[in-house]
Amino acid sequence: MFMKSMTGYGKAVCELPDKKISVEIRSVNSKQLDMNIKLPAVLRDKEQEIRSLISRSLERGKIDFFVNIEYLSANENYSLNTAQAAKYFNDIKSLSSELKLMLPDDIVSVLVRLPDVIKTPFDEMNEQDWKAIKMSVENAIEKLDEFRKNEGNVLQKDIEHRITLIAQGIPQIEVFEKGRVQQIKQRIQTHMENVISPENIDKNRLEQELIYFIEKIDFTEEKVRLKKHCDYFLQTIKESVSNGRKLGFITQEIGREINTLGSKANDSDIQKIVIEMKDELEKVREQLLNVL
């Protein structure tokens, strides 16, 4: 039993002597792997390595990845990048003028929080620190993957139940099949007799036309194919890899057979069963949008 959701969350915390690093990763459904990575300046040169770690473990999904650094000790050995601060100030002033807005009273506190305005000794990451942070990154990814597995397990049980309900509709249809044929024969004969007097009806020709019409609306092949598609779906969902796309293709085939059953039904009781099948299949399709 193996299915993964594309929705997940993972968090890991790395405690270093002078700082605390929090790593968070979230994912939602997407057709491809789409990564949005936000890193503090000190880790920007590690972005490509982090992307590689994520892509090796997570096949698809829209990924949001964040790293936050909390410094635990005060340090007076910092430098102020006045040129960078002045550039930020001029840009903000220009924007405020263009939008006809007042500059905030606490503009200085805003400026010092912007990237590269204040440089501290912590702005350089040594290799030992990076190894510890990398382990936290891997840990967060593993937690997200575990979350996906647990969520996928819930999805799998629900989807299997709905596909089983669709398959169970096939013998329910068969209950009404014999009566359906008799009703169609009776209906055609009644219409004929309303138009042509009984003695003028060619019985042999009428029987031939009835046989032709009944063969045309026979859906034995559709029932067989629908059963095979449902069995194949339930077999595929238990494979050792998550097969969201493949399962989506199988639901398309299931949908075609159900639609053909409905178009050939000519019976209100069978139509009700077909509508229930369609309803279950639509719920399966919605669930599969979030399956890896």
**8-33, pLDDT tens digit by residue?**
999 999 888 878 889 999 999 988 89
Question: Is residue 119 within a helix (H) or strand (E), and if so which, with residue range?
Answer: strand 118-119
- Rounded Cα distance between 35 and 53, Å, is 12
pLDDT band at 176 (very low <50, low <70, confident <90, very high): confident
Residue-level pLDDT at 124:
65
The one-letter amino acid code at 262 reads G
- Rounded Cα distance between 284 and 272, Å, is 19
**Which three-class secondary structure state does DSSP give residue 235?**
helix
Q: Are 267 and 178 in contact (CB under 8 A)?
A: no
- Rounded Cα distance between 2 and 241, Å, is 6
DSSP state of 199: G
Lowest mean pLDDT among 80-84, 249-253, 279-283: 80-84
Q: What is the mean pLDDT of residues 177-189?
A: 72
What's the pLDDT tens digit per position in 108-136? 888 877 877 776 655 567 788 889 999 99
Q: Do strands 61-71 and 19-28 pair parallel, antiparallel, or not at all (unpaired)?
A: antiparallel
pLDDT over threshold 60, residue 76 = no
Q: Do strands 61-71 and 33-38 pair parallel, antiparallel, or not at all (unpaired)?
A: parallel
pLDDT over threshold 90, residue 53 = yes
Can you say how many angstroms the Cα of residue 8 is from the centroid of all Cα atoms in its chain? 11
Residue-level pLDDT at 198:
64
> What's the token pair of residue 41?
């300046």
Q: Are 18 and 71 in contact (CB under 8 A)?
A: yes
Question: Is residue 61 within a helix (H) or strand (E), and if so which, with residue range?
Answer: strand 61-71
> What's the token pair of residue 169?
């509709």
- Rounded Cα distance between 96 and 114, Å, is 17
